[in-house]
Structure 1
Amino acid sequence: MNLIIRSGGHDFEGLSYVSNITFVLLDMSNLRSINVNIEEETTTVQVGATIGELYYKIWEKSKVHAFPAGVCPTVGVGGHISGGGYGVLMRKYGLTVDNVIDATIVDVNGRVLNRTSMGEDLFWAIRGGGGASFGVILSYKLHLVRVPETVTVFRVSKTLEQNATDIFNRWQYVADKIDRDLFIRLNLKPDNTKNTVHASFTALFLGDSERLVSVMNSGVPELDIQKPDCKEMSWIESELFWSSNVNNPVEILLERSFSPKFSKRKSDYLQTPIPRDGIESLWQKMLELRVVELVFNPYGGRMSEIGDSETPFPHRAGNIFKIQYSVNWDEEGVEAAAYYVNQTRVLHEFMTHFVSKNPRGAYLNYRDLDIGTSVVGNNSYTDGKVYGEKYFKGNFDRLVKVKTMVDRDNFFTNEQSIPPLRMRKKNMRK
C-alpha cells in the first residue's frame, strides 16, 4: 500500500492527495508550530504551517526580518521548501533551500533524525529534491534575512498599443543584471475582447521610491516609472500587496483556505532573449489560445552566485527567467479539463525554440506530469531520468544515490519520485 504525504498546502497535480493505487494519506497539516528566535535570526517551522503563518510569526517578532519564500500565503511550508521554493527576495537572498540550516526527518526505519544524524547527503537531498522521496520531514530550521523598514512596490500594466513589445524586449536584456534589490515579475495575459495582450510589471524593491525610480530609469527607461507609480510600505504590507490582500489586515495571512478552482501549470527557463519577431509571434499565439497566461520571474543576483550542485535545484547562473504557464478554470467535467490543459500544452510546444534545451528545464514545485511519470512503487531509473533530468539536470544521479542509500526498497514513492537503483545480483557480487 502506498503512503502519500501532505504537508498542508496544495499541489498542482494533486500528488499529495491522489494516486492510481490504494494509499494511506499522512496529513501533516496540524503540525504548525513556528518558533522565531530574532537574536539568532532563525526560525524553526513545522511542515504543516503555511507561508502566510510563517510570515505573520516573523512579523510579530521583528519588522526588519523576513524569509525568502513565495507570495501565495496558503502554500504549505513542507512542500514549498523541500521543492526549492522561491519568492520575490530570491535575487537578494536566493531560494528557500539556500537558507535552510537544519531539518528533522523520520526515515524509513522510523528514526527521527536531524542534520547531524541524517548526514550531509540526505540533508542535501531534501533541500530542493522533494522531501516525499526520502522520508517524512517534520520541520525545518531556517535562517532569517534582513529587510529595510521601508520597501517599495509598483504594478504597471501596458498593452500592445502602449509599447509592451519594446518594454518586454528591453526587460529581457536587463532583468538578470539590474540591482539585486529589485525583483520585477512580468505577467502576460491575453485580452480577447480588445484583441491585445496585457503586460503587467509588478515589483518589490528593497529601498525607497526615489532610489527605485533612479534604478528603473537607468535600466528600463521604456517603462517610464515615476514616483506616483510607487508605493512605500513595510515588508509585511508588501506581502499583502503581492497576494492581492492589500486592503485586508495582516491577520488574513493566517487564513488557510483558497479558491477551489481547477488549474494547470507548466514551466520553462529562458536563457537567451526572445527575438523581437518571436515576441510578436508570441502575442499572436496567446491571442489564438485565449486562456493561457505567462509569468516571467527574473533571475540574476544571488541566484547566479550559488553553484548548480550546492542544492538539488540546478537552475542558477545563465537563466534570465523562470517561466510559468498558468491556466485556471471553474467548469467541471472531463471535456473542460481537456480543453484547458491542452491550451497549456500547445503554448508550451510553441515556446520550444526559445527556451532551455538538453535538457529542457522544468521546476519541481510547478509539478507537471506531462514531462514524464513512473509506476508508483516500482519507479525505474529509466522512467525517473526522463522527468528527473528536467527538474534536476546533473543532480538527478546524486539524488538517486541518496535514495538508494536511505530507501532502497522504495517505500516513499509517487508518480514523480526519485527512484532507487535496482542492482542485479551478479553486479552486487562484484
Structure 2
Amino acid sequence: DQVANVVTEALSAHGKNVKVTSGRHCYEDFVYNDQTHAVIDMSALNQVGFDPDYNSYFVDAGCENWTVYRTMLNAFNKTLPAGSCYSVGAGGHITGGGYGLLSRLHGLTIDHVTAIDIVTWDARSSTAKMRHVSEKSSDAAERDLFWALRGGGGGNFGVIVRYYFADPPTAPDHATVWNLAWDWSDMTNAGFANLLAEYADMVTTMPNTDWSLLCLTHVTNGQLGMTLQIVSPAGTSFTEHRRRAEASVAGAKKRFSAIAPAVRLMKPLGGHPYISAVPKSESAVHLTYLEALQDLNGIGPNQFFKNKSAYMKKAFPTDQVDAIYHWLNVTPAGANLSQALVQVDSYGGEINKRSSTATAVPQRSSIMKLQYQTYWNNDSVPGNRNAAPYLAQAETQLTWLNDLYRAVYAQYGGTPNPANDTTGTVGGCYYNYADSQLGTHAHGDADKALWLYFLDNLRNNPRNLVSVKKHWDPENYFHHAQSIPVK
C-alpha cells in the first residue's frame, strides 16, 4: 500500500515524467535525463526472506545482488542464478532475465520466479493498485502480466515491489576458479581464430556445472584472458568436487595449449565481472561458493563506458573472427582502448531447456552471449563533461566500438539480426544490456532494437509484450527510450 500511495502521488503530480530505479546500473540514460521530473527509488525496499503466507522465499526490488546472495545462502542455504555484479539491483536485473554465473546449471533467474508483487496504474481513475500476479492468478490478464514481467524488462508495466521463489536452487558448497591468459605479442591471426573456435567448442561440450568468460581485450591491454568457474551440485564432497574441477581444468589446459604460450594474468581485463586481481595464478583456486561469488563480483571503478550485445547460436564464422581480430588491433587517434574488449560469456545448458515463449526472453538456443565494451576516463568534472575535448574523446571511443560491431555483423545488416541470418548463427541482443544506438522512440526506430531484444515475443506471438502493455498501461505512463510500445 505504501508503494501504491507513492506511485499515485508521483504520477498525479508529474504525469508521464516519472521513472523508477533500483540499483542504478542501467547502461543508458533511461531514468536520469532531462525529461525526468521525479524518480521512484526502490533501493530502501531491500529485504530478503521467507513468506509463510505464500510458502515462498522473496527478494525485494531494491535488493542488490550481494545482499541477495549472502542472505539466501547464510539464512536458507539457497541461491539464485543471477548476475555477478554485486551492486546491481534486483528490480531491473531480474525482470530483464537475470542471467548469471549459475545460469547454465539452473537457467535464468526468471525461470525460478513464481510470483511478483507489482503496482499498476489506472489512468482513468488516477489510482495505483498493488497486485500479486503469478501463473495461478485467476485473471487471465494478470497471468499475461506475470509472463511479461519475466524478461520484459523494467520501466514498462508498473513498479515491481517483490519477487517470490517457491523453490530456488540450493547453493553449491564448493567452487573452483581458474584463469588463463595469453600475451597479445604471441597471438597471431590464425591463433586468434583457433582460440575462438576452441572456446565455442568448449562451451557447447562442457558440463552445465561449468561457466566460462573469455575476454578478448584490445591489443593495447597487452593480454587476453579467460576465466573458468566450476561448481558442484549441493551435497557433493570436497574430494569429489576437486576431482571434477581439476579434470575440467586439465581438459581446458590441453584444449588451449597449442594456441599460444599461456602466461600469468598481469593486468586487469575489465568487463563484467571485472577481473582485477594481479598477478593471477595459473593454478586452480578451490573456494567455498560464497568466496567464489566474492571473487567474481567486481564491477571495477566508475568511469565512462559504452556496451553492445549479441547472442550466438553457433561458433564464430570466419568473417566475424577476422573482423574482431582486425578491430582489436586498430587504435584510432585520440582513443584509449586499453580497457576495450569483446566479452564472451558461456550460455546454454538449462537456459535452453525452456521454450522461446515460456517467458518474454526468446533466446533459448544460444551457446554464447557477447558484450562489446569500451571504458575510458578523463579529467572532466560534473558540469563540463560536454566540453569539446571530452565530447571528441567520447565520439572516438564510440565510433571505434560501433565500427567494430557493424563489421562483425555486416552480413546481417550491421546487427546480430536473426531475421537476416540464413545460417542460424546469431540470436539478437539482451534487453538488460541496453543500447540506444540500436534504436529509440525519439528517433522513430525503437522497433528495430525491440525486435533484436524480444524477437517474435514483441508482437507476433499470440502472447506478446505489446498486447500486455496495451492492456496494463494504455496511456504509456511507464516509458523510456526503448520501452515496450502500446501499439
Task: Please report the TM-score for the alignment, with normalisation by the length of structure 1.
Answer: 0.85
1:400 has 2:466 as partner: yes
Amino acid in the other structure paired with 2:171: V
* Mapped partners of 2:450, 2:160: distance in 1: 21
Identify which of 122, 130, 135 aligns with 1:112: 130
Amino acid in the other structure paired with 2:454: F
Aligned residues, how many?
396
Asked whether the equivalents of residues 311 and 369 of structure 2 are also in contact (C-alpha less than 8 Å), the reply is: yes
Q: CA deviation at 1:384?
A: 4.1
* Mapped partners of 2:178, 2:56: distance in 1: 30
Identify which of 288, 303, 308 aligns with 1:266: 308
Q: Secondary structure at the match of 1:335?
A: helix
* Mapped partners of 1:305, 1:17: distance in 2: 37
* Mapped partners of 1:216, 1:81: distance in 2: 31
State the partner residue of 2:271: none
1:280 and 1:345, CA in 2 relative to 1: closer, same or farther beyond 3 A? closer
* Mapped partners of 1:218, 1:42: distance in 2: 40
- Give me the CA root mean square deviation: 2.6
In the TM superposition, 1:68-147 aligns within 5 A as 68-109=81-122, 110-115=128-133, 116=137, 119-142=142-165, 143-147=167-171
Identify which of 231, 234, 257 aligns with 1:206: 231
State the partner residue of 1:428: none
Q: Percent identity?
A: 26
Identify which of 296, 299, 322 aligns with 2:369: 322
* Mapped partners of 1:41, 1:210: distance in 2: 37
Deviates most, 208-217 or 343-352: 208-217
Summarize deviations over 1:141-177 as a string: whole Å, max 9, x none.
1342123311211111123526554333212123123
Identify which of 383, 397, 419 aligns with 1:358: 419
1:349 has 2:406 as partner: yes
Q: CA deviation at 1:203?
A: 1.6
State the partner residue of 2:424: none
1:280 and 1:400, CA in 2 relative to 1: closer, same or farther beyond 3 A? closer
Q: Secondary structure at the match of 2:213?
A: strand
Q: CA deviation at 1:36?
A: 4.3
Q: Secondary structure at the match of 2:330?
A: helix
1:304 and 1:220, CA in 2 relative to 1: closer, same or farther beyond 3 A? farther
In the TM superposition, 1:221-236 aligns within 5 A as 221-223=254-256, 229-236=283-290
Deviates most, 345-354 or 98-107: 345-354
Q: CA deviation at 1:193?
A: 7.0
Summarize deviations over 1:122-147 as a string: whole Å, max 9, x none.
00001110131100111111342123
Amino acid in the other structure paired with 2:485: P
Amino acid in the other structure paired with 1:308: S
Amino acid in the other structure paired with 2:457: N
Asked whether the equivalents of residues 41 and 144 of structure 1 are also in contact (C-alpha less than 8 Å), the reply is: no
1:228 and 1:370, CA in 2 relative to 1: closer, same or farther beyond 3 A? closer
1:173 has 2:221 as partner: no
* Mapped partners of 1:228, 1:322: distance in 2: 25
Asked whether the equivalents of residues 152 and 204 of structure 1 are also in contact (C-alpha less than 8 Å), the reply is: yes
1:12 and 1:281, CA in 2 relative to 1: closer, same or farther beyond 3 A? closer
Summarize deviations over 1:34-71 as a string: whole Å, max 9, x none.
11479x99531111111111111112214x42111000
Q: Secondary structure at the match of 2:458?
A: helix
Asked whether the equivalents of residues 36 and 57 of structure 1 are also in contact (C-alpha less than 8 Å), the reply is: no
* Mapped partners of 2:97, 2:83: distance in 1: 10
Summarize deviations over 1:373-419 as a string: whole Å, max 9, x none.
1149xxxxx74422211110000011000011111111111111111
Amino acid in the other structure paired with 1:330: N
Q: Secondary structure at the match of 1:92?
A: helix
Task: Please report the TM-score for the alignment, with normalisation by the length of structure 2.
Answer: 0.75
Asked whether the equivalents of residues 440 and 481 of structure 2 are also in contact (C-alpha less than 8 Å), the reply is: yes
Asked whether the equivalents of residues 19 and 36 of structure 2 are also in contact (C-alpha less than 8 Å), the reply is: no
Q: CA deviation at 1:192?
A: 2.3
State the partner residue of 1:368: 435
Asked whether the equivalents of residues 269 and 361 of structure 1 are also in contact (C-alpha less than 8 Å), the reply is: yes
Amino acid in the other structure paired with 1:9: R
State the partner residue of 2:178: 154
State the partner residue of 1:254: none
Asked whether the equivalents of residues 304 and 377 of structure 2 are also in contact (C-alpha less than 8 Å), the reply is: yes
